[in-house]
């Protein structure tokens, strides 16, 4: 790194990462009159929310897109920044595809084998009860934490004692693969329960009527763009941070272009990326352990654009689930005006990895055929087709929910939100509530900023 | 990175990492008449073998130190390079400390509660049988691989069905924590069996009479130093590799100081470090998945030097095990001459992390008191004391055995030894046999070199 040529900046607080966590932290600090500098590795803000543009000018939100029930902070930001929200299209019937047959249903529960439905419902309830026994902010302190953390979500789901019917086991596996963007065998049972504990149960996450109720005019990334605009030239793009050195009096953040000297730094990147920064002195062993073991799940999102949302005329909502299919879920993402018709569909976990291996033509072919099985042959001929492999994005490395491998939380989970001297942490993976969602990112960023604010002297303007 | 100022080199093969895997690969290629360049991040060769020197000039081997039964390749290298080996001191009685009491024993099996001994023996046998059913080179293809990979070694050990007596469960946990430098809850049951499958069972690893039979005059690092000396100025130290770009015709390796253009590259670093290199084009998703999820366990080695090996006079071998103690094992490392007396002792996994958190004085105090409980008060006053925290070493990040978290092997384990175009992989974590040992590193490096040799044209000298 050619440090000699780097620009030097001073700030009270440096924020690393301009996703929603970093922007929310920086905004709160700036609103309180403090001087911040934000360093972002990408050439854009918004993190794992992203507007991409097709050749014909259609703008597509390819990352975090929906807002949902109880997500108060992100709705408040939308209002404050003048970003309009509008409800998700939810008329029509959803499809669940099982063993080659489409079943239409409305509400949350498909009309399949009633035993499977009951058995799945009971499994979710049992997991919910297990989650409720965990201390909200410190699940690793639960009496049975070691036991739960030595088990995988996959082993729990695949047990006939826990879920008696095969269809329900398959469905539970598909739901959990979707939530964690990982094979449930990769996920600690305790780690899985953390999500349920902080987010109103797995039902909250698994039901689009909770998490996907509204879209933002112009896309969620527009909210991030307006937050960044308020911060003005405090935000530096294409500026990956390589090293953070702290002393008793200050912290120095070394990026490829700028060296910032500050009183505090908030690292608001996905944990695996935070783990690649060089810390001087080294992070305490427990912090390093957590950062080296937290992973980001695998997720590819495919967006298909049609002249109109043809599925609506067929009485369908566009929402579909197909356990076992490489493209396990889809959802309608048509803009408020009603055209073009836009479907968002996804490959998760091992299926995303398997799809990533294919040649682009082959992948597109499989993708469109999977949609056509559910929505008919019109799905085969989109006017626009755009894939985003979040796992291949070097500044994301994958999905949005913190994946805790077995054993990790009970060893080093207590460092998840624990500052190290002048270094604090933010990001949706570290959020107690609404973990893995944009809302979790915002809350986590604001919480980190509040803690730093409490440690900072009053800004000059306020004391004058 | 100031690429403009970098030196440029051409080679047939570039080797990344000058540990035993990288050196063995480079040596084999050079011996066959090919031009190699070796890039090493550290300011020394030898990787996770390392000679450190005390103020009084005493040289201590603080990483891989012992050779053992069946480790043919490393013994052959010692002979070839003129490094003498000598047998490990194994007279006297070993100590196992349980519930505050020292029990002396000889051989492998301590004379504790016979039920515990039988129950532990049976558990190892059962694990061995399970391992024997796995395909040697592709354990992830076993019929029950998914089942085994969704379970943790920790859950298996802690089950009363598998190990009926509490003492045996505690001992099994301690043995496995030692082997994997990790809480067994972090380790996939399938991943654990891989070690047993390729290495003659857990008994091979758990019994010092297999793995710790000989030392090398001057320390094992001397072998690495002589291999490097043969390679001459082909070895570049303090040269961390940041990026590897390949095209149809060649591969370019960008380090902080040198850019190498080669036909092939062998990446012979610990897998977590291989995962931090930027690959252009990106690694296939499955390879990236494996590299991002393989971790290095936690290990601190403490070496205490005394005027003489006083424990020998007490009829002790210096070997001790104390499940539950932060310093769970010790072994005699006295040089052939018989003075000074050197004990090597270790903290592993969560205990290593907990020890790393302490202030140096406090850690030393706990360390010495743990030794004194086993060897008497003389242990409290060493003439020399040296800690090596391998987890804090930025170019190791931890221990030597590949730790596979649950779910990982059955998803991406097949990429462990799979080249990506012109990129091959080596390292003890990738070895089929003698995995996690110096021998595994050598064999893996030689195997990778042989595969590259098969793809290279004959060297000019040989065809002339």
- Asked if residue A331 is part of any domain, the answer here is yes
How far apart, in whole angstroms, are the C-alpha atoms of residue B144 and residue B152? 14
> B333 and B369, same structural domain?
yes
Q: B350: distance to nearest CA of chain A, Å?
A: 7
The predicted-structure confidence for A119-168, as pLDDT tens digits, reads as follows 888 999 999 999 999 999 899 999 999 999 999 999 999 999 999 999 89
The answer to whether A152 contacts chain B (CB < 8 Å) is: yes
Tokens of B356: 């790393």
Among A147, A171, A200, the domain-final residue is A200
> A424 and A374, same structural domain?
no
pLDDT at B292: 94
The answer to whether B430 contacts chain A (CB < 8 Å) is: no
- Asked if residue B410 is part of any domain, the answer here is no
- Asked if residue B273 is part of any domain, the answer here is yes
The answer to whether B387 contacts chain A (CB < 8 Å) is: no
- Asked if residue A349 is part of any domain, the answer here is yes
- Asked if residue B17 is part of any domain, the answer here is yes
Q: Which residues of B touch A352 (CB under 8 A)?
A: 285
Q: Which residues of A touch B1 (CB under 8 A)?
A: 1-2
Predicted confidence band of residue A2 (pLDDT cuts 50, 70, 90): very low
The predicted-structure confidence for B8-66, as pLDDT tens digits, reads as follows 999 999 999 999 999 999 999 999 999 999 999 999 999 999 999 999 899 999 999 99
Residue B186 to residue A285, Cβ atoms within 8 A: no
Q: Pick the more confident residue, A446 or A461.
A: A446
The predicted-structure confidence for A28-84, as pLDDT tens digits, reads as follows 999 999 999 999 999 999 999 999 999 989 999 999 999 999 999 999 999 999 999
> B58 and B42, same structural domain?
no
For residue B28, the surrounding DSSP H or E stretch is: helix B20-31
- Asked if residue A414 is part of any domain, the answer here is no
CA distances for A242 relative to A9, A40, A202, A239, angstroms: 16, 11, 36, 9
How far apart, in whole angstroms, are the C-alpha atoms of residue A104 and residue A92? 9
The predicted-structure confidence for B120-144, as pLDDT tens digits, reads as follows 889 999 999 999 999 998 999 999 9
What CATH number is attached to the domain comprising A193? 1.10.405.10
How far apart, in whole angstroms, are the C-alpha atoms of residue A150 and residue A156? 11
> B196 and B224, same structural domain?
no
Average pLDDT value for chain B: 94
- Which ipTM was obtained for this model? 0.92
Q: Pick the more confident residue, A202 or A113.
A: A202
Predicted confidence band of residue B207 (pLDDT cuts 50, 70, 90): confident
> B196 and B142, same structural domain?
yes
Is the confidence at residue B463, as pLDDT, over 70? no
Domain span holding position A352? 51-65+85-91+211-217+298-392
> A175 and A153, same structural domain?
yes
The answer to whether A396 contacts chain B (CB < 8 Å) is: no
What CATH number is attached to the domain comprising B340? 3.90.660.10
The predicted-structure confidence for A3-12, as pLDDT tens digits, reads as follows 456 799 999 9
> A61 and A123, same structural domain?
no
Tokens of A314: 């067929």
> A194 and A127, same structural domain?
yes
- Asked if residue B165 is part of any domain, the answer here is yes
Q: Which residues of B touch A184 (CB under 8 A)?
A: 150, 407
Q: How many domains does chain B have?
A: 3
Is the confidence at residue B460, as pLDDT, over 90? no
Given a contact cutoff of 8 angstroms between Cβ atoms, the answer to whether B315 and B289 are in contact is: no
Surface of A (322-361) touching B: CB under 8 A: 350, 352-353, 356-357
Predicted confidence band of residue B6 (pLDDT cuts 50, 70, 90): confident
The predicted-structure confidence for B247-288, as pLDDT tens digits, reads as follows 999 999 999 999 999 999 999 999 999 999 999 999 999 999
Region label for B4, one of left (φ > 0), alpha (ψ between -120 and 50) or beta (otherwise): alpha
Which of A107-116, A345-354, B87-96 is predicted most confidently? A345-354
Q: B158: distance to nearest CA of chain A, Å?
A: 9
The predicted-structure confidence for B168-191, as pLDDT tens digits, reads as follows 999 999 999 999 999 999 999 999
Q: By C-alpha distance, which of B325, B304, B326, B301 is closest to B390? A: B301
Is the confidence at residue B402, as pLDDT, over 70? yes
Predicted confidence band of residue A458 (pLDDT cuts 50, 70, 90): confident
> A383 and A309, same structural domain?
yes
Is the confidence at residue B245, as pLDDT, over 50? yes
The predicted-structure confidence for A248-279, as pLDDT tens digits, reads as follows 999 999 999 999 999 999 999 999 999 999 99
Q: Which residues of A touch B146 (CB under 8 A)?
A: 185
- Does residue A297 sit in helix, strand or coil? coil
Is the confidence at residue B1, as pLDDT, over 50? no
pLDDT at B2: 45
Residue B186 to residue A405, Cβ atoms within 8 A: yes
Is the confidence at residue A429, as pLDDT, over 50? yes
Is the confidence at residue B71, as pLDDT, over 90? yes
Residue A187 to residue B292, Cβ atoms within 8 A: no
Is the confidence at residue B362, as pLDDT, over 90? yes
> A383 and A304, same structural domain?
yes
pLDDT at B198: 81
pLDDT at A460: 66
> A310 and A274, same structural domain?
no
Surface of B (274-303) touching A: CB under 8 A: 276, 278, 282, 284-286, 288-289, 292-293, 295, 298
Q: Which residues of A touch B412 (CB under 8 A)?
A: 353
pLDDT at A207: 84
> A304 and A267, same structural domain?
no
- Asked if residue A206 is part of any domain, the answer here is no
For residue A224, the surrounding DSSP H or E stretch is: helix A220-231
The predicted-structure confidence for B150-161, as pLDDT tens digits, reads as follows 999 999 999 999
How far apart, in whole angstroms, are the C-alpha atoms of residue B436 and residue B21? 11
Is the confidence at residue A463, as pLDDT, over 70? no
For residue B173, the surrounding DSSP H or E stretch is: helix B166-180
What CATH number is attached to the domain comprising A22? 3.50.50.60
Over range B327-350, report the average pLDDT: 96
Among A354, A376, A392, the domain-final residue is A392
């Amino acid at each position: 790194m050619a440090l000699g040529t780097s620009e030097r900046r001073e700030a009270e607080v440096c924020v690393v990462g301009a996703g929603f966590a970093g922007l929310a932290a920086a905004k709160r600090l700036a609103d309180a009159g403090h001087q911040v500098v934000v360093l972002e590795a990408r050439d854009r803000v918004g993190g794992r929310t992203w507007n991409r543009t097709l050749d014909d000018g259609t703008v597509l939100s390819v990352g975090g897109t929906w807002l949902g029930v109880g997500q108060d902070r992100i709705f408040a930001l939308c209002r404050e920044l003048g970003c309009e929200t509008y409800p998700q299209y939810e008329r029509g019937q959803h499809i669940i595809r099982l063993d080659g047959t489409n079943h239409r249903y409305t509400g949350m529960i498909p009309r399949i084998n009633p035993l499977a439905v009951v058995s799945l419902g009971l499994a979710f309830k049992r997991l919910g009860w297990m989650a409720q026994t965990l201390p909200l902010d410190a699940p690793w302190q639960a009496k049975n934490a070691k036991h739960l953390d030595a088990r995988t979500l996959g082993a729990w789901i695949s047990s006939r004692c826990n879920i008696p019917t095969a269809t329900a086991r398959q469905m539970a596996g598909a739901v959990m693969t979707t939530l964690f963007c990982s094979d449930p065998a990769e996920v600690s049972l305790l780690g899985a329960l953390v999500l349920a504990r902080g987010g109103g149960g797995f039902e909250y996450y698994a039901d689009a009527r909770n998490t996907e109720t509204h879209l933002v005019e112009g896309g969620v990334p527009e909210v991030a763009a307006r937050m960044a605009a308020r911060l003005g030239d405090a935000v530096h793009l294409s500026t990956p941070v390589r090293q953070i050195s702290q002393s008793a009096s200050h912290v120095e953040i070394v990026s490829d272009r700028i060296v910032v000297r500050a009183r505090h730094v908030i690292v608001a990147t996905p944990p695996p990326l935070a783990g690649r920064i060089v810390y001087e002195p080294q992070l305490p062993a427990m912090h390093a352990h957590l950062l080296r073991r937290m992973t980001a799940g695998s997720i590819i999102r495919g967006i298909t654009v049609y002249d109109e949302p043809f599925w609506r005329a067929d009485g369908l909502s566009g929402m579909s689930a197909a356990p076992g299919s490489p493209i396990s879920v889809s959802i309608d993402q048509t803009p408020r005006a009603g055209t073009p018709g836009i479907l968002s569909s996804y490959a998760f976990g091992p299926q995303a990895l398997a799809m990533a291996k294919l040649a682009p033509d082959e992948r597109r072919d499989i993708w469109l055929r999977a949609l056509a099985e559910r929505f008919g042959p019109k799905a085969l001929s989109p006017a626009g087709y755009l894939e985003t492999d979040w796992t291949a994005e070097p500044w994301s490395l994958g999905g949005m929910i913190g994946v805790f491998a077995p054993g990790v939380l009970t060893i080093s989970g207590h460092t998840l939100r624990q500052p190290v001297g002048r270094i604090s942490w933010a990001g949706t993976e570290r959020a107690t509530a609404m973990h893995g969602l944009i809302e979790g990112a915002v809350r986590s960023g604001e919480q980190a900023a509040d803690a730093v604010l409490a440690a900072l002297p009053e800004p000059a303007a306020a004391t004058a």
